Structure 1
Amino acid sequence: MSWKSMRRGALRTLAASAATLALATALANPADAKSDRVRWSVPIAFGTNLTALGDTLPWVANSLTQMSDGKIKFEIFEPGKLVSGIEIFDAVSSGKVDAGYSWMGYEQGKVPASVLFGAVPFGMEPWEFMAWMYNGGGDALLKEVYAPHNVVPVFCGIISPETAGWFRFEIKSLDQIKGLKMRAAGLGGKVLQKVGASVTVLPGGELFQALEKGVLDATEFSLPSVDQQLGFYKVAKFNYFPGWHQPYTAQYLYVKKAAWDDLAPNARAQIETACTAGVTISLAKAEALQGGVIKQFEKEGVKAVKLNDDILHALKKASDEVMAEESGKSAEFKKVLESQKAFSAVYATWKDLGYLPRDWK
């Protein structure tokens, strides 16, 4: 046998040994066989131009690319480019996409408890909700709720209260809401239906035209800063507060279970860490901008109005009825709601003692 033949044989033996060793190592340590490289197409529910609402995931994605040295990359698709903004859950659950980003609640018809993680009328304030999610059992319940649907959700953004809505005329009594054509989503939409409004859910991009043409009499959508970008102030001059229907609005990165299971532990940790930072960034931005925007609305002839106590009490009564009805339909909904209420009951002591009253001067 020639020297070259011997050398080729030795190299083949060495390569086979290396492959055997790699396979044995992977079988002995399954986590090592998982990937720390991510290339996901990620549709989002809100345009990336919408400050604090739609620009959070791009910030998270950019942070992930940097912290992973380019191993984790999300290709973000604007609403409607890959799937509709309100179909993110379906796209991930069915396996059409590996991940998506949305407010949690559009899927309440299939996952009744989902909306409790998105927004609860007369519910927790943003930082209280964050405390429940991270330290009050919320995240464990979240994972439990979505496990049967082939989805792993990651808490990835939250914003301040929305406005109660934009109206073409002044609202002095709840009777004026009866028959009103209004865009509203989630549990808040169910409450408005209960008090007589004709409620529909439309994507943000369709709302200005619907208001302008009279298809809608009123709409709620998001923060004053987001509503400003959508131009509502041009066609509706009464902006109502407080955001009773959504004291917090939480967004999530929905990940297909198989895609999540394929990730190496370090990749999962990086995604979770970036999303936790996204929660902080989105809330800080939301809190920073609203006062200035409301001042700008004044120059456009918009009247910022607080709903009177009679209306708020009536809406609270209707909200309690809706929550009881939904709890009766779904044991899972009831379980999550009871967890939130129990946490808030304990938190209330700190909330009352630790902070100055909002009307203190």
Structure 2
Amino acid sequence: MKKALQATALSLTLATSTAAMAEFDKVRWQVPMGFPSSLTALGDTMPEVAKMLDEMSGGQVTLRTFEPGKLIPALGVFENVSNGNIPAGYSWMGYEWGQIPASALFGATPFGLESQEFIAWMYHHGGDDLLKELFQPYNVYPILCGTISPEAAGWFREEMDSLEKFKGLKFRAAGVGGEIMSEFGMSVTLLPGGELYQALETGVLDATEFSMPVVDEQLGFYQVAKHYYLPGWHQPSTNQYLYINLDEWNGLNGQTQALIENTCKAANTVALAKAEALQGAVLKKFEEQGVQLHQYSPEILNAFKEATDRVMKRRSESDPMFDKVYSSMKAFQEEHRPWKYYGYLPRDFGFEEADK
């Protein structure tokens, strides 16, 4: 009798386990990425997401990642997911801003929300609902899946100590930040990360921005430009997304959808923690390699802010959805402002003592 009861219990356990496993759809998606997986926190987050999904689903949900250019062009994730050429893809949001201007706000908003504020807005102040509303007409279901630290403002061959020096400069930038920089007479172009070193070395570009210090180091910009400008006013948070074809998404059951959504929430923690952990050491290394670290002067930052206000006003007046998203962001930023001011130590507190 004891053995019979043990056998029955084992059978029920196996049956329950099998039934639970069966609640996950069998997913086999090819997922091209906008960034090489070798780029820290920027490109290695999606492979980590794929690993987590595979482990938690017991192999039911398998996303096979592909390096940029292997399946589709590096900047072609949105278009190919929208058209159904691929089931899903992973990229920074904003490369599609010529077609969906408001998308760039979710990738990065100049003088906008910092990383922790952006997550707060997305999950608790309606940002995620606006995101889904924005992309639904294009048959795309985007999921925030990798928030990282601010970008740097750019690499230059000479010191940028006046606004006059920006005129005529051949500069790589993306999203809204690129349009704002054009206000200063800069010739702005968009190139994938893998092409930037050669463009900078050969003079196709005079200067470039791309990402955080740890990523910029991997791309070798410090070898051909020695003036590194911060803060990243144009991109106070950097946000990557898992783009999923809406038909594919709607074909999944609720448990599989929840697994993917929650894994991407975990990815935000993983990516941001890694990003914050590494930047200080890289900046020190840059200085040892002869790079001069600069903060833009208040005069230049104020000029960028005034130009940002002009561009945002112009875009908001011409695009109701841009206005809706930007207004929501600004309302939360204003609501959050007293807590940000009073709740945290000033960023320069203790620095003078530390330098003595």
* TM-score normalized by the length of structure 2: 0.91
Alignment of 1:163-182 (within 5 A): 163-182=152-171
Alpha-carbon distance between aligned partners in 1 of 2:323 and 2:163, rounded to the nearest angstrom: 28
Amino acid at match of 1:280: T
Give me the whole-angstrom Cα distance separating, in 2, the residues matched to 1:350 and 1:284: 22
Opposite residue 38 of structure 2, the aligned amino acid is N
Aligned residue type for 2:199: A
Which one of 90, 100, 117 corresponds to residue 128 of structure 1? Answer: 117
Compute the RMSD of aligned alpha carbons.
1.0
Quote the residue 1:305 is aligned against. 294
User: Aligned partners of 2:341, 2:301: CA distance in 1, in Å?
Assistant: 21
- Cα distance, 1:86 vs. partner? 1.0
Partner-residue secondary structure (3-state), 2:75: helix
In structure 2, the residue matched to 1:289 is: 278
Instruction: Describe how 1:177-326 pairs up with structure 2 within 5 A.
Output: 177-326=166-315
Residue in structure 2 matched with residue 56 of structure 1 by the alignment? 45
CA distance in 1, matches of 2:303, 2:334: 22
User: Which residue of structure 2 aligns with residue 152 of structure 1?
Assistant: 141
Contact 1:165–1:221 (CA under 8 A) maintained in structure 2: yes
100, 103, 124: which one pairs with 1:111?
100
| AA aligned opposite 2:131 | L
- Offset at residue 36 of structure 1 (A): 1.1
Q: What is the identity, as a one-letter code, of the residue corresponding to 1:135? A: H
Question: 1:225-263 CA distances to partner (integer Å, 9 max, x unpaired)?
Answer: 000000000000000000000000101000001110111
- Does residue 29 of structure 2 align to residue 46 of structure 1? no
1:30 counterpart residue number? none
Whichever residue aligns with residue 348 of structure 1, its letter is R
Amino acid of the structure 1 residue aligned with 2:47: P
Counterpart Cα distance in 2 of 1:85 and 1:111: 18
1:327 aligned partner: 316
Structure 1 spans left out of the alignment, 5+ residues: 1-32
Give the conservation status (yes or no) of the 8 Å contact 1:123–1:247. Answer: yes
* Secondary structure of 2:96 counterpart: coil
Offset of 1:360 from its aligned partner?
1.7
Deviation at 1:34, TM superposition (A): 8.8
Q: Distance in 1 between matches of 2:273 and 2:144?
A: 16
Corresponding residue for residue 9 of structure 2: none
Counterpart CA distance in 2 for 1:317 and 1:85 is: 33
Q: 1:89 — aligned with what?
A: 78
For residues 329 and 83 of structure 1, what CA distance do their matches in structure 2 show?
32
Distance in 1 between the 2:152 and 2:210 partners? 8
User: Could you say what secondary structure the match of 2:317 adopts?
Assistant: helix
Q: Tell me the matched-pair count.
A: 329
**How many angstroms apart in 2 are the aligned matches of 1:310 and 1:345?**
23
Contact 1:166 1:232 in 2 (8 A): yes
Q: Secondary structure at the match of 1:64?
A: helix
Match of 2:151 in 1: 162
Residues 163-205 of structure 1, C-alpha deviations (whole Å, 9 max, x = no match): 1000011111011000000000011100100111000000000
Contact 1:157 1:279 survives alignment (8 Å): yes
Q: Gaps (5+ residues) in structure 2?
A: 1-21, 351-356
Listed one character per residue, the Cα deviations across residues 294-328 of structure 1 (whole Å, up to 9, x for unaligned) are 00111110011111111110011001111011111
Match of 2:345 among 343, 356, 361: 356
Who is 1:8 aligned against? none
Distance 2:232 2:224 in 1: 20
1:21 corresponds in structure 2 to: none
Quick check: 1:168–1:235 contact (8 Å CA) kept in 2? yes
Shift of 1:35: 6.3
Q: State how far apart, in whole Å, the 2-side matches of 1:214 and 1:324 are.
A: 34
Greater than 4 Å deviation, 4+ residue runs: none
Residue 72 of structure 1 aligns with an amino acid whose one-letter code is: V
Matched residues, percent identical? 57
CA contact (8 A) 2:24 2:61 kept: no
- The one-letter amino acid of 1:109's match is G
1:51-71 CA distances to partner (integer Å, 9 max, x unpaired)? 000000000100000000000
In the alignment, is the contact (CA less than 8 A) between 2:23 and 2:255 conserved in 1?
no
> 3-state DSSP class of the match of 1:275?
helix
Query: Which residue does 2:5 correspond to in 1?
Result: none
Normalising by the residue count of structure 1, what TM-score does the alignment of the two structures yield?
A: 0.90
- State the SS of the aligned residue for 1:86: coil
CA contact (8 A) 1:34 1:263 kept: no
1:313, 1:348 → 2: CA distance?
19
Aligned-pair distance for 1:84?
Answer: 1.2
Contact 1:35 1:262 in 2 (8 A): no
Partner SS state of residue 301, structure 1: coil
